[in-house]
C-alpha cells in the first residue's frame, strides 16, 4: 500500500526544490520548515548521504480544516524531496 504521491521532476536538486516551492506557493502553501537530511547526517554522524530535503508545507486553511477533523493523527503538510542517481 502506498501512502504517498510520487513525481519525478528534471533539473538540478536545488532547481527542483525551487520548482516544488513555487508550485506549492501557487496552490496557497508556504514552506514553514526545511530539513536538510544530507547536512544533518554529515554533521551528526559524519556520513555522506545523497541530497534529501523535507519541506514542511502549510496551507493554513487546509491545515485548520484537517485539524478540526482529527488533531491526533497524521499532520498535514510534508513533502520529501530527494535526488536519485541518474545514468
pLDDT digits (tens, 9 = 90+) for 24-33: 999 999 998 8
DSSP string, 53-86: EEEEEE-HHHHHHHHHH-SSSPPS-EEEEE----
DSSP conformational letter for 12: -
| pLDDT tens for each residue of 54-64 | 888 888 888 78
Mean of pLDDT over the chain: 82
Q: Is the pLDDT of residue 87 over 50?
A: no
What's the whole-model pTM score?
A: 0.72
Amino acid at each position: 500500500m502506498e501512502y504517498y504521491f510520487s513525481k519525478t521532476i528534471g533539473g538540478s536538486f536545488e532547481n527542483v526544490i525551487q520548482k516544488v516551492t513555487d508550485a506549492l506557493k501557487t496552490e496557497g502553501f508556504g514552506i514553514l520548515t526545511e530539513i536538510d537530511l544530507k547536512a544533518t547526517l554529515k554533521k551528526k554522524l559524519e556520513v555522506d548521504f545523497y541530497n534529501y530535503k523535507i519541506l514542511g508545507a502549510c496551507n493554513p486553511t487546509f491545515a485548520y480544516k484537517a485539524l478540526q477533523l482529527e488533531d491526533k493523527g497524521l499532520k498535514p503538510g510534508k513533502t520529501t524531496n530527494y535526488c536519485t542517481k541518474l545514468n
